[in-house]
Amino acid sequence: MEELNVKLANLIFPEITETIEDLEKRFPKRDLPEGAEVTRFAPSPTGFLHIGGLFGSLIDMRVANQSNGKFILRIEDTDKKREVENGITLLVKELKAFGINNDEGVTGEFAEIGEYGPYKQSAREYIYKVCAKELIKRGRAYPCFCTAEELDKLREAQERSKQIPGYYGTFARCRNYTVEEAIAKIEAGDKYVVRFRSLGSHMRKVKVQDIIRGKIEMAENDQDIVIIKSDGLPTYHFAHAVDDHFMRTTIAVRGEEWIPSSALHLDLFNTLGFEQVKYAHTPTIMKNDNGSKRKLSKRKDPESAVSYFIEEGYPADSVIEYLLTIINSDYELWRKANKTANWREFEVKLNKLNSSGALFDMVKLTDVSKEVISRLNSAELLELVLAWAKVYDNSLYELLNKDLAYAKQILGIERDNATKIRKDIAKYKDILPNIFYMYDELFEKDIENGYNFNLNNGKLTMDDVKEVISNYIELHKQGLTKENWFEEVKKMAEGLGYQVNMKEYKANPDAYKGSIADVTGIIRVAITNRQNTPDIFLIMDVLGANKAQARLEKVLSI
C-alpha cells in the first residue's frame, strides 16, 4: 500500500521533489528573544480594508512589536474572483496611513521583505504541494473526483435527512476508492481535487486553547476538506496550517468567526506534524442599530471601510486610539496618566481583551478624536490639515495656502500656549466650518442671509444689538488687552442695564435687559456670525483691529 501511495503522489505531483523535511531546513525556527511573538495579518487583496481588519492588524503589530518579535503582512490571493487591480497597493497604503507597518512580508504590489516568503499565497504553490504530496504518501490525503453537481445533491440529501452536512465518513465516496482505482481514473483524464483524510469523529470532543477565551471545547474534526483545488492552489484551511508553520507564526490573531474551524485546523497541524500555533479569536466589530447589535455592513455603513475615516479627515491616531479602547478597556486610564505619550507605548494585553462583541461607537470615536487633535500645536495641525486638504478638499488647501502664517495663527487660537485647550474639532473636515469667519470673503457670503442674532430667546431687539455694538466700538478703539478686555466689557454692560453676575441674573432675569453672556454674544455674532466660537477676544486679535472694527460697523449699517 505504501508503494502505491507513493506512486499516486508522484502521479499527482510529478514536479515535486522536495519533502517537508527539506522545507523545515529552508524555513528554520526563528532566532528571536525568549517570549518574542510572531504574528501575521493575512487579508485578501479586495481593495477594501474593513475597520475589523485594521482592528486585527493593530493587535498583530502591537503584540509583535512589544515582545521584540515580528509582524508579517501575508496576502491570501488564492481566490482570484475576489481580487481587484492594485488591491495590494491600496491595502498597503491604507495600513501605512494608520501607522500599521509590517516587519516582514508584502510591501507593495510586487515587493516584499523577509526570508520566510514568498508572502503571497499564489506564489507559494510549490510549498503547499510538497505538504500535500507528503500526506498522499502517508495515506492521509486522496484525490476526489466528485463534480459540483454531485456535491450539491449530497448536501441536499443530508439536509433532508437532517444529517451534519459535509464530506465525511460514508458520505465521502472518493475516500473509499482503492489507490489503484484512483490512479486509473487520473490516468483516464478524470478531473479531481485533493482532499484531506480525517481520522476524527464528531462524536468525540477536542479542546482548543484560546488566549482571549480560554479553553474552548468542540466536536473533533471529521471532515475530509479540500486542501488543493483543481487549479493547484490551496484552500484557506490548508494554507493557514502550512503558512503559519513555515513562517513560524506563534500567535494567529483572527476573528471569532473562525472558532468553529479550530478543530479542523488542529487536526491539520497534528497530522502534518507541525507545532500548534496559539489562537487569539477577537470579537466581531458590531454596530448598535435601533437597540440591537449587528455587524458593520459594507453596504449600509460607510464607517466599515477605513477609507471613510481617511476621506473624512480623522487623524490616524484618533482611529487607532479609539480602537485601543476597544482592545483593552484600561487604555483610557493609561492615556489620562500619560497625556503626551505615544500610543505605541501602551502594552496590549490579549488576555484582557473583551471576548464579547466590540461595539463601534462613532460618538466615542469623535470624542477621542477631539482629544487627539487638542494635543496638537498649530504647526502640527496645519501640516496635517494641508496634507489632507491637498487630496480631499482643494478649496480649503488653496484658502490656507494664501497666507500660511495667518492660517497658523487661526489654528493656534485656544491651542498654542493656552491653559484651556479648545476641543471643537474632531476631523479635518471640521476645520473650515470652524474658521470660515476668519476670511472676509467667506464671512461676507455667510451673512448674505442675515446675522444670527437670535439671543436670549428673542428678548433682545435689533436696537439693543446696535446699542451694544456702538458702545463696544468705542471700547475697541482703545486697544484693550487680553487681561483687561472682559472687565471693561462688563463695565460697559452694567452701564447699559445688563447683569454681569450670572447667579443674580438667573434668580431674577426680568429685572435686567439681559446678562453679560448676551453682551459678549452680540459681539461674537457681529464678528463671526456664530453663537459658539473660541475666545472672541483672541479671534479679533488674529483678525486685526481694523477688520474687527469694520465688521462691527457693518452691523450698525443694517
Q: What's the gap between Cα 18 and its chain centre?
A: 41
pLDDT at 456 (0 to 100): 64
* Cis peptide bond upstream of 509, omega within 30: no
Strands 104-108 vs 285-289: parallel, antiparallel or unpaired: unpaired
**Long-range contacts (CB closer than 8 Å, 24 or more residues apart) made by 187-194:** 187/11, 190/145, 191/145, 191/230, 192/143, 192/144, 192/145, 192/230, 193/143, 193/144, 193/226, 193/228, 193/229, 193/230, 194/12, 194/132, 194/136, 194/141, 194/142, 194/143, 194/144, 194/226, 194/227, 194/228
pLDDT at 167 (0 to 100): 97
pLDDT at 79 (0 to 100): 78
Phi and psi angles of residue 424, each rounded to the nearest 5 degrees, phi first: -110, 0
Q: What is the mean pLDDT of residues 177-203?
A: 96
Q: In what order do the strands lie in the sheet with 358-359?
A: 292-295, 285-289, 358-359
The sign of the dihedral angle between the CA atoms of 429, 431, 432, 433 is: positive
The Cα 421–Cα 113 span in angstroms is 43
Give me the DSSP letters along 462-507.
HHHHHHHHHHHHHHHTT---HHHHHHHHHHHHHHTTEE--HHHHHH
* Position 13 pLDDT exceeds 90: yes
Span 316-326, pLDDT tens digits:
999 999 999 99
Least reliable range by pLDDT among 128-142, 451-465, 498-512, 514-528: 451-465
Cβ–Cβ < 8 Å for 519, 487: no
Cβ–Cβ < 8 Å for 353, 256: no
Alpha carbon separation from 33 to 29, 38, 67, 80, 436 (Å, rounded)? 12, 11, 8, 38, 54
Q: Which CATH code, of 1.10.3720.10, 1.20.1250.20, 3.40.50.140, 1.10.1160.10, is assigned to 287-374?
A: 1.10.1160.10
Give me the DSSP letters along 403-420.
-HHHHHHHHTTTTTT-SS
Query: Same fold for the domain at 2-20+125-282 and the one at 448-556?
Result: no
Residue 142: name the closest of 181, 189, 195 by CA. Answer: 195
- Domain regions of the chain by residue span: 2-20+125-282, 287-374, 378-438, 448-556
Number of H helices, E strands in the chain: 24, 16
Strands 214-219 vs 498-499: parallel, antiparallel or unpaired: unpaired
Cell numbers at residue 488, please? 471693561
* Position 127 pLDDT exceeds 90: yes
Cell numbers at residue 50, please? 474593513
**Cβ–Cβ contacts within 10 Å for residue 531, how many?**
13
pLDDT at 1 (0 to 100): 67
Q: What is the mean pLDDT of residues 109-121?
A: 96
Q: What is the mean pLDDT of residues 374-382?
A: 97
Which run of H or E residues covers position 446?
Answer: helix 440-446
Q: Report the length, in residues, of the chain.
A: 558
Span 482-506, pLDDT tens digits:
999 999 999 999 999 999 999 999 9
Span 18-35, pLDDT tens digits:
999 999 999 999 999 999
Helices (H), 161-248: 179-187, 236-246
More confident residue, 312 or 81: 312
Cβ–Cβ < 8 Å for 210, 282: no
Which run of H or E residues covers position 360?
Answer: none
pLDDT at 252 (0 to 100): 98
pLDDT at 381 (0 to 100): 97
The Cα 411–Cα 398 span in angstroms is 16
Query: What percentage of residues in the chain have a pLDDT greater than 70?
Result: 99
Residue 277: name the closest of 265, 260, 294 by CA. Answer: 265
Q: What is the mean pLDDT of residues 182-200?
A: 97
More confident residue, 151 or 87: 151
Query: What percentage of residues in the chain have a pLDDT greater than 90?
Result: 89
- Residues 534, 540, 542: CA angle, nearest 5 degrees: 90
**Cβ–Cβ contacts within 10 Å for residue 515, how many?**
21
The Cα 533–Cα 544 span in angstroms is 17
Q: To which CATH superfamily is domain 2-20+125-282 assigned?
A: HUPs (3.40.50.620)
The Cα 19–Cα 420 span in angstroms is 67
pLDDT at 354 (0 to 100): 81
pLDDT at 427 (0 to 100): 98
Mean pLDDT of the chain: 95
Which run of H or E residues covers position 251?
Answer: strand 251-255
Residue 195: name the closest of 155, 163, 151 by CA. Answer: 151
Please name the residue that has the C-alpha cell 459681539.
523
pLDDT at 243 (0 to 100): 98
CB crowding 167-177: b at 16 or more within 10 Å, else e = bbeebbebbeb
* Position 62 pLDDT exceeds 90: yes
Indicate the CATH number for domain 448-556. 1.10.10.350
